[in-house]
């Protein structure tokens, strides 16, 4: 029964085409083609947006990498300064208060 129904649709469709009318079966196909074309356009737009974001991210990643390395160097310098501070503190001479009777140191 299903094949008879499909055969009837095909006969009506071919008759419509012969009469110069629009093919009723192709209307669904045109809608599908439009939807497919729209989907392809959406995908192309998404690809362009992804490429745009990617092209903007690369320089930013370079800047982040540079900033990260700079921060590492700054922290390294901070540790060096703290180490020097710990090493210099014990080396400071203990000064005795001078009395007036003592003369200038020679």
The 10s digit of each residue's pLDDT in 56-92 is: 888 888 899 899 999 999 999 999 999 998 888 877 7
Residue 25's CB is within 10 A of a number of other CB atoms, namely: 14
Report domain extents, the chain: 15-91
- Tell me if 40 sits within 8 A of 32, measured CB to CB: no
| Per-residue CA distances from 51 to 44, 46, 48, 58, 60 (Å) | 11, 9, 5, 11, 14
- Tell me if 22 sits within 8 A of 6, measured CB to CB: no
Q: How confident is the model at residue 1 (pLDDT cuts 50, 70, 90)?
A: very low
- Residue appearing with tokens 């959406």: 42
């Amino acid at each position: 029964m299903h094949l008879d129904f499909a055969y009837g649709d095909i006969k009506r469709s071919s008759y419509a085409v012969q009469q110069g009318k629009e093919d009723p079966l192709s209307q669904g196909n045109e809608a599908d083609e439009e939807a497919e074309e729209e989907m392809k356009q959406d995908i192309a737009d998404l690809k362009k947006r992804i490429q745009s974001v990617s092209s903007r991210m690369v320089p930013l990643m370079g800047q982040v990498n540079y900033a990260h390395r700079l921060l590492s160097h700054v922290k390294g310098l901070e540790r060096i300064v703290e180490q020097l501070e710990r090493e210099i503190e014990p080396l400071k001479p203990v000064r005795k208060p001078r009395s007036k009777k003592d003369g200038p140191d020679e």
